Amino acid sequence: MELIDGNQIAADIIAELKASVAALPGRKPCIALVRVGEDPASISYVTKKQKTSAEIGIESRLILPPVTITQDALFALIDGLNTDPTVDGILVQSPLPKGMNEVAVFRRIAAHKDVDGFHVLNLGKLAQEDTTGFTACTPAGIMELLKRSGVKLAGKHVVVLGRSLIVGKPVALLAMARTEWANATVTVCHSQTANLPAITRQADVLIAAIGKAEFVTADMVKPGAVVIDVGMNRVPDASKKSGFRLTGDVHFPTVSPLCSKITPVPGGVGPMTVALLMTNTVKAHRQNSASAR
């Protein structure tokens, strides 16, 4: 069993981006990070994004509207960033305060600055295999993990657990795309799937993105499979100072001995999400600079 080291692969991508940003003439790439309110997890995520931006040489602008901001006022803020020629990418950190329509907020971001990849136009480009669009960072990170770990998907059966717009649907499209590292046969499973273990046991590559702690057990995995665990769940643990431990959607102790390769939690998919956000920001800068000429 080989552990896929997401921290190391993300560090490699960040080093490559740092070199390419250093070579860029003129204005450096810029990402606007919008965080509404003081959600502790959001503060932590945005801080990590700022730190990684600085390491690469990307300018990050932190915008902190109050938790009381109205949806219309947030729209106006996004509209201003959409028309600002010095901003290449815009990220609105979720979750947003109760009562806000997150989908409407994400759609308000101009498609050419949507480095999170959630805009309808970018999802449509993904379905059409149009590489000028932006792919959601976690699915793009999963594909990089597989590619850089030497896992070619052509002719393989990929089973995706979960059908979210953030992970499940985009990663299924990426895995079946007509590209060198893809061309897989893909099955998407979800809460309404019958005989789930019988399907997951067919997977050469199993991508678990269901949001349920340690849901995938040994009886659901074919020996020799590659397992990508997207889950990040807090489970109570009295032995930890924090009172909880982080675990994935896979029961690692029993599943890992069966696998040829598996991602740990933490240190697997998580670090890739930020690395691919930075990749998208540099891509946005290149495309925006080209269109401005």
Q: Residue 204, Cα to own-chain centre: how many angstroms?
A: 22
Q: Which residues contact 143 (CB under 8 A, 6 or more apart)?
A: 171, 174, 175, 181, 182
Q: What is the pLDDT of residue 41?
A: 86
| Collapsed DSSP state (helix, strand, coil) of residue 248 | coil
Alpha-carbon gap, residue 7 to 2, rounded angstroms = 15
At the topology level, CATH places domain 137-269 in: Rossmann fold (3.40.50)
Residue for token pair 């997951």: 200
**Nearest partner of 109 among 91, 124, 94, 86, judged by Cα:** 91
* CATH no., domain 25-110: 3.40.50.10860
> Based on C-alpha coordinates, what's the Rg of the chain?
19
- Asked if 281 and 115 count as a contact pair (C-beta separation under 8 A), the reply is yes
Q: Does position 293 have pLDDT exceeding 70, yes or no?
A: no
Alpha-carbon gap, residue 139 to 143, rounded angstroms = 6
Q: What is the pLDDT of residue 81?
A: 98
Q: Does position 243 have pLDDT exceeding 70, yes or no?
A: yes
Residue for token pair 């509209």: 79
Instruction: Please name every residue paired with 157 in a beta bridge, in sequence order, or none if there are none.
Output: 185
Q: Residue 278, Cα to own-chain centre: how many angstroms?
A: 11
Alpha-carbon gap, residue 213 to 29, rounded angstroms = 37
- Record the pTM: 0.95
Alpha-carbon gap, residue 153 to 184, rounded angstroms = 5
Average pLDDT value over all residues in the chain = 96
Instruction: Break the chain into its structural domains and give their ranges.
Output: 25-110, 137-269
Averaged pLDDT, 264-292: 95
Alpha-carbon gap, residue 222 to 200, rounded angstroms = 8
Alpha-carbon gap, residue 185 to 93, rounded angstroms = 33
Q: Which residues of 13-24 are buried (b: 16+ CB within 10 A; e: fewer)?
A: bbeebeeebeee
Averaged pLDDT, 235-261: 93
pLDDT tens digits, one per residue of 84-141: 999 999 999 999 999 999 999 999 999 999 999 999 999 999 999 999 999 999 999 9
Alpha-carbon gap, residue 76 to 80, rounded angstroms = 6
Active site residue ranges? 49, 93, 116
| Percent of the chain predicted with pLDDT > 70 | 100
- Asked if 112 and 288 count as a contact pair (C-beta separation under 8 A), the reply is yes
Q: What is the pLDDT of residue 92?
A: 97
pLDDT band at 24 (very low <50, low <70, confident <90, very high): very high
Averaged pLDDT, 23-33: 96
Alpha-carbon gap, residue 84 to 290, rounded angstroms = 16
- Asked if 159 and 189 count as a contact pair (C-beta separation under 8 A), the reply is yes
Alpha-carbon gap, residue 274 to 23, rounded angstroms = 21
Alpha-carbon gap, residue 157 to 200, rounded angstroms = 10
Alpha-carbon gap, residue 174 to 181, rounded angstroms = 9
Alpha-carbon gap, residue 31 to 128, rounded angstroms = 26
Q: What is the rounded (10 degree) CA torsion for 34, 37, 38, 43?
A: -10
